[in-house]
Protein backbone atom coordinates (compact mmCIF):
# COMPACT_ATOMS: atom_id res chain seq x y z
CA UNK A 1 0.00 0.00 0.00
CA UNK A 2 1.31 3.41 -0.91
CA UNK A 3 1.63 5.61 2.13
CA UNK A 4 0.30 9.13 1.94
CA UNK A 5 -0.63 11.98 4.21
CA UNK A 6 -4.20 12.08 5.47
CA UNK A 7 -4.14 15.86 5.44
CA UNK A 8 -2.06 17.95 3.11
CA UNK A 9 0.63 20.41 4.05
CA UNK A 10 -0.42 23.78 2.66
CA UNK A 11 2.37 25.78 1.09
CA UNK A 12 2.66 29.53 0.81
CA UNK A 13 2.17 29.31 -2.96
CA UNK A 14 -1.29 27.78 -2.39
CA UNK A 15 -2.46 31.20 -1.17
CA UNK A 16 -0.91 33.26 -3.98
CA UNK A 17 -3.24 34.81 -6.51
CA UNK A 18 -0.44 34.81 -9.07
CA UNK A 19 0.87 31.26 -9.21
CA UNK A 20 3.84 32.32 -11.32
CA UNK A 21 5.23 34.49 -8.51
CA UNK A 22 7.70 33.20 -5.96
CA UNK A 23 6.83 35.40 -3.00
CA UNK A 24 7.97 34.46 0.47
CA UNK A 25 5.49 36.65 2.37
CA UNK A 26 1.75 37.14 1.96
CA UNK A 27 -0.96 39.21 3.65
CA UNK A 28 -4.65 38.24 3.81
CA UNK A 29 -7.67 39.76 5.51
CA UNK A 30 -9.95 37.30 7.29
CA UNK A 31 -13.54 38.39 7.83
CA UNK A 32 -16.64 36.49 8.86
CA UNK A 33 -17.42 32.89 9.65
CA UNK A 34 -14.71 30.40 8.75
CA UNK A 35 -14.45 26.72 9.60
CA UNK A 36 -11.57 24.31 9.04
CA UNK A 37 -13.07 20.93 9.98
CA UNK A 38 -10.02 18.71 9.49
CA UNK A 39 -6.64 19.67 10.86
CA UNK A 40 -3.84 20.42 8.44
CA UNK A 41 -0.39 21.95 8.62
CA UNK A 42 1.57 24.64 6.81
CA UNK A 43 5.14 24.95 5.62
CA UNK A 44 5.23 28.61 6.72
CA UNK A 45 4.71 30.77 9.80
CA UNK A 46 1.31 32.39 10.34
CA UNK A 47 0.77 35.45 12.53
CA UNK A 48 -3.01 35.92 12.77
CA UNK A 49 -3.93 39.28 14.30
CA UNK A 50 -7.55 39.34 15.50
CA UNK A 51 -9.44 42.60 16.02
CA UNK A 52 -12.83 41.02 16.78
CA UNK A 53 -13.48 37.35 17.11
CA UNK A 54 -15.15 34.33 18.63
CA UNK A 55 -14.88 30.60 18.27
CA UNK A 56 -12.09 28.09 18.83
CA UNK A 57 -8.65 27.60 17.30
CA UNK A 58 -7.19 24.13 17.86
CA UNK A 59 -3.38 24.03 17.66
CA UNK A 60 -1.57 20.73 18.21
CA UNK A 61 -4.61 19.17 19.91
CA UNK A 62 -5.23 22.09 22.31
CA UNK A 63 -8.34 24.30 22.00
CA UNK A 64 -7.73 28.04 22.30
CA UNK A 65 -10.74 30.39 22.63
CA UNK A 66 -10.81 33.15 20.02
CA UNK A 67 -11.58 36.65 21.29
CA UNK A 68 -10.93 40.32 20.57
CA UNK A 69 -7.38 41.73 20.51
CA UNK A 70 -5.35 38.55 20.13
CA UNK A 71 -2.49 37.31 18.01
CA UNK A 72 -2.23 33.62 17.13
CA UNK A 73 1.22 32.29 16.18
CA UNK A 74 1.34 29.13 14.10
CA UNK A 75 4.61 27.38 13.28
CA UNK A 76 5.45 25.12 10.33
CA UNK A 77 4.33 21.52 10.86
CA UNK A 78 1.93 22.37 13.69
CA UNK A 79 -1.51 20.85 13.14
CA UNK A 80 -4.38 23.29 13.36
CA UNK A 81 -8.06 23.75 12.66
CA UNK A 82 -10.52 26.43 13.68
CA UNK A 83 -14.14 27.50 13.81
CA UNK A 84 -14.38 31.29 13.71
CA UNK A 85 -17.59 33.19 14.46
CA UNK A 86 -19.42 35.47 12.04
CA UNK A 87 -18.15 38.67 13.65
CA UNK A 88 -14.50 37.66 13.31
CA UNK A 89 -12.26 40.31 11.78
CA UNK A 90 -8.58 39.54 11.48
CA UNK A 91 -5.41 39.89 9.44
CA UNK A 92 -3.12 37.04 8.44
CA UNK A 93 0.58 37.48 7.84
CA UNK A 94 2.17 34.41 6.22
CA UNK A 95 5.96 34.27 6.23
CA UNK A 96 8.09 31.57 4.65
CA UNK A 97 10.30 29.56 6.96
CA UNK A 98 13.38 30.78 5.09
CA UNK A 99 12.54 34.45 5.67
CA UNK A 100 11.26 34.01 9.23
CA UNK A 101 14.46 32.33 10.32
CA UNK A 102 16.51 35.31 9.17
CA UNK A 103 14.82 37.17 12.05
CA UNK A 104 16.19 34.74 14.63
CA UNK A 105 19.11 36.90 15.78
CA UNK A 106 16.74 39.65 16.85
CA UNK A 107 14.27 37.17 18.37
CA UNK A 108 17.07 35.95 20.70
CA UNK A 109 15.34 32.73 21.65
CA UNK A 110 14.73 29.41 19.96
CA UNK A 111 11.43 29.39 18.07
CA UNK A 112 10.72 26.10 19.79
CA UNK A 113 9.93 27.92 23.03
CA UNK A 114 7.21 30.02 21.45
CA UNK A 115 5.18 26.99 20.43
CA UNK A 116 4.05 26.76 24.04
CA UNK A 117 2.45 30.22 23.78
CA UNK A 118 0.51 30.20 20.49
CA UNK A 119 -2.20 32.69 21.54
CA UNK A 120 -1.38 36.02 23.13
CA UNK A 121 -3.96 38.41 24.54
CA UNK A 122 -2.99 41.95 23.57
CA UNK A 123 -3.63 45.29 25.23
CA UNK A 124 -5.59 47.67 23.02
CA UNK A 125 -2.59 50.01 22.55
CA UNK A 126 -0.34 47.14 21.45
CA UNK A 127 -3.05 45.75 19.20
CA UNK A 128 -3.35 49.11 17.44
CA UNK A 129 0.44 49.35 17.11
CA UNK A 130 0.47 45.96 15.41
CA UNK A 131 -2.54 46.81 13.26
CA UNK A 132 -0.78 49.96 12.07
CA UNK A 133 2.22 47.85 11.02
CA UNK A 134 0.00 45.26 9.32
CA UNK A 135 -1.80 47.96 7.32
CA UNK A 136 1.50 49.59 6.41
CA UNK A 137 2.76 46.22 5.19
CA UNK A 138 -0.43 45.70 3.17
CA UNK A 139 0.06 49.06 1.43
CA UNK A 140 3.69 48.21 0.67
CA UNK A 141 2.72 44.89 -0.89
CA UNK A 142 0.18 46.67 -3.12
CA UNK A 143 2.87 48.84 -4.73
CA UNK A 144 4.47 47.83 -8.02
CA UNK A 145 7.22 47.00 -8.13
CA UNK A 146 7.32 45.62 -4.60
CA UNK A 147 10.41 46.68 -2.63
CA UNK A 148 11.01 43.43 -0.80
CA UNK A 149 13.71 44.81 1.47
CA UNK A 150 11.13 47.21 2.90
CA UNK A 151 8.52 44.45 3.18
CA UNK A 152 10.90 42.17 5.05
CA UNK A 153 11.96 45.00 7.37
CA UNK A 154 8.33 45.73 8.24
CA UNK A 155 7.55 42.06 8.85
CA UNK A 156 10.65 41.79 11.02
CA UNK A 157 9.42 44.72 13.11
CA UNK A 158 6.09 42.94 13.61
CA UNK A 159 7.84 39.79 14.85
CA UNK A 160 9.97 41.90 17.22
CA UNK A 161 6.87 43.53 18.72
CA UNK A 162 5.29 40.12 19.22
CA UNK A 163 8.53 38.72 20.63
CA UNK A 164 8.73 41.51 23.21
CA UNK A 165 5.17 40.85 24.34
CA UNK A 166 5.76 37.11 24.67
CA UNK A 167 8.83 37.72 26.82
CA UNK A 168 6.98 40.27 28.94
CA UNK A 169 3.95 38.04 29.56
CA UNK A 170 5.47 34.64 30.13
CA UNK A 171 7.94 34.17 32.94
CA UNK A 172 9.15 30.83 31.57
CA UNK A 173 10.51 32.59 28.48
CA UNK A 174 12.48 35.12 30.53
CA UNK A 175 14.10 32.29 32.47
CA UNK A 176 15.99 31.32 29.33
CA UNK A 177 17.61 34.74 29.19
CA UNK A 178 19.52 33.98 32.39
CA UNK A 179 19.85 30.24 31.74
CA UNK A 180 21.25 29.73 28.23
CA UNK A 181 21.90 26.07 29.02
CA UNK A 182 18.13 25.49 29.10
CA UNK A 183 17.73 27.16 25.73
CA UNK A 184 20.44 24.94 24.25
CA UNK A 185 18.78 21.92 25.87
CA UNK A 186 15.48 22.72 24.15
CA UNK A 187 17.23 23.12 20.80
CA UNK A 188 19.10 19.83 21.21
CA UNK A 189 15.90 17.98 22.09
CA UNK A 190 14.17 19.28 19.00
CA UNK A 191 17.07 18.08 16.85
CA UNK A 192 17.80 14.69 18.46
CA UNK A 193 14.60 13.51 20.20
CA UNK A 194 13.85 10.75 17.69
CA UNK A 195 17.20 9.07 18.24
CA UNK A 196 18.14 10.08 21.78
CA UNK A 197 15.82 9.88 24.79
CA UNK A 198 18.18 9.89 27.77
CA UNK A 199 19.07 12.92 29.83
CA UNK A 200 22.66 11.68 29.93
CA UNK A 201 23.08 12.16 26.18
CA UNK A 202 21.95 15.79 26.28
CA UNK A 203 23.94 16.56 29.41
CA UNK A 204 27.10 15.31 27.70
CA UNK A 205 26.39 17.59 24.73
CA UNK A 206 26.05 20.48 27.18
CA UNK A 207 29.22 19.49 29.08
CA UNK A 208 27.37 19.17 32.37
CA UNK A 209 26.17 16.25 34.48
CA UNK A 210 22.72 14.76 34.06
CA UNK A 211 22.02 15.55 37.71
CA UNK A 212 22.85 19.23 37.23
CA UNK A 213 20.66 19.44 34.11
CA UNK A 214 17.80 17.92 36.05
CA UNK A 215 18.30 20.41 38.90
CA UNK A 216 18.24 23.31 36.40
CA UNK A 217 14.96 22.09 34.92
CA UNK A 218 13.32 21.48 38.30
CA UNK A 219 14.42 24.81 39.79
CA UNK A 220 13.53 26.93 36.76
CA UNK A 221 10.74 25.08 34.94
CA UNK A 222 9.30 22.92 37.73
CA UNK A 223 9.61 19.79 35.57
CA UNK A 224 12.28 17.14 35.19
CA UNK A 225 14.76 17.12 32.32
CA UNK A 226 13.26 13.81 31.14
CA UNK A 227 9.79 15.37 31.02
CA UNK A 228 10.87 17.75 28.25
CA UNK A 229 12.16 14.87 26.12
CA UNK A 230 9.00 12.85 26.69
CA UNK A 231 6.71 15.79 25.93
CA UNK A 232 8.41 16.47 22.59
CA UNK A 233 8.28 12.77 21.67
CA UNK A 234 4.60 12.53 22.57
CA UNK A 235 3.70 15.58 20.49
CA UNK A 236 5.45 14.12 17.44
CA UNK A 237 3.71 10.79 17.98
CA UNK A 238 0.32 12.54 18.05
CA UNK A 239 1.15 14.42 14.84
CA UNK A 240 2.17 11.23 13.04
CA UNK A 241 -0.86 9.28 14.25
CA UNK A 242 -3.18 12.11 13.26
CA UNK A 243 -1.60 13.26 10.05
CA UNK A 244 -0.26 10.18 8.24
CA UNK A 245 -1.30 6.75 7.08
CA UNK A 246 1.87 5.30 8.60
CA UNK A 247 1.31 2.14 10.59
CA UNK A 248 1.94 2.15 14.33
CA UNK A 249 4.93 -0.09 13.65
CA UNK A 250 6.39 2.48 11.24
CA UNK A 251 5.78 5.30 13.71
CA UNK A 252 7.39 3.22 16.46
CA UNK A 253 10.65 2.93 14.54
CA UNK A 254 10.54 6.49 13.18
CA UNK A 255 10.44 7.77 16.75
CA UNK A 256 13.37 5.60 17.79
CA UNK A 257 11.53 2.96 19.85
CA UNK A 258 12.75 -0.63 19.54
CA UNK A 259 9.36 -2.36 19.57
CA UNK A 260 5.66 -1.59 19.37
CA UNK A 261 4.90 -2.70 22.93
CA UNK A 262 7.45 -0.27 24.36
CA UNK A 263 6.11 2.60 22.26
CA UNK A 264 2.50 1.77 23.12
CA UNK A 265 3.24 1.65 26.85
CA UNK A 266 5.11 4.96 26.62
CA UNK A 267 2.29 6.66 24.68
CA UNK A 268 -0.43 5.35 27.00
CA UNK A 269 1.56 6.50 30.00
CA UNK A 270 1.74 10.00 28.55
CA UNK A 271 -1.81 10.32 27.19
CA UNK A 272 -3.97 7.73 28.96
CA UNK A 273 -4.85 5.94 25.70
CA UNK A 274 -3.02 3.60 23.35
CA UNK A 275 -1.77 4.82 19.95
CA UNK A 276 -4.52 2.82 18.25
CA UNK A 277 -7.23 4.30 20.49
CA UNK A 278 -5.89 7.81 19.88
CA UNK A 279 -6.06 7.31 16.11
CA UNK A 280 -9.51 5.71 16.18
CA UNK A 281 -11.05 8.59 18.15
CA UNK A 282 -9.77 11.43 15.95
Domain containing 271: what range?
Answer: 179-280
Is residue 206 located within the same domain as residue 237?
yes
Is residue 16 located within the same domain as residue 120?
yes
Report the pLDDT value the prediction gives residue 3, as an integer from 0 to 100: 42
Report the pLDDT value the prediction gives residue 21, as an integer from 0 to 100: 52
Last residue of a domain, one of 174, 207, 231: 174
Q: What is the CATH number of the domain that holds 108?
A: 2.60.120.280
Selected residue with higher pLDDT from 206 and 176: 206
Pairing of strands 41-42, 9-10: parallel
pLDDT at 133 over 70: yes
Tell me if residue 113 falls in helix, strand or coil.
helix
Report the pLDDT value the prediction gives residue 23, as an integer from 0 to 100: 62
Residues 6+ apart with CB under 8 A from 160: 103, 106, 107
Residue ranges of alpha helices (H) inside the chain are 97-100, 104-107, 111-114, 124-142, 148-169, 171-178, 180-192, 199-205, 210-221, 225-243, 248-254, 260-271, 275-280
Last residue of a domain, one of 174, 207, 227: 174
Is residue 159 located within the same domain as residue 58?
yes
The answer to whether residue 14 sits within a structural domain is yes
Average pLDDT score, the chain = 85
Lowest mean pLDDT across 172-176, 219-223, 260-264: 172-176
pTM: 0.75
**Total Cβ atoms within 10 A of residue 219:** 10
- 268-277 pLDDT per residue, tens: 999 999 999 9
- 16-46 pLDDT per residue, tens: 655 545 568 888 888 888 888 888 888 888 9
Instruction: Report the C-alpha gap between 173 and 192 in whole angstroms.
Output: 22
Is residue 21 located within the same domain as residue 129?
yes
Average pLDDT of the segment spanning 220-247: 88
Is residue 108 located within the same domain as residue 139?
yes
The answer to whether residue 3 sits within a structural domain is no
Q: What is the CATH number of the domain that holds 233?
A: 1.10.10.60
The answer to whether residue 2 sits within a structural domain is no
Instruction: Report the C-alpha gap between 63 and 56 in whole angstroms.
Output: 6
Amino acid sequence: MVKKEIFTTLELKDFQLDSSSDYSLLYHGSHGKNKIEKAHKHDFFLLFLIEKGSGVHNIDFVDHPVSDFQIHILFPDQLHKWELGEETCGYQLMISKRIFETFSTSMQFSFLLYQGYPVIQLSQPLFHDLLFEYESLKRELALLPVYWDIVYSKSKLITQLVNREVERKFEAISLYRTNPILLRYHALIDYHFKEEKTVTFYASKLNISANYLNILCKNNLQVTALYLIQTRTTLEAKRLLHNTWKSIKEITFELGFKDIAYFSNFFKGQTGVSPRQFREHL
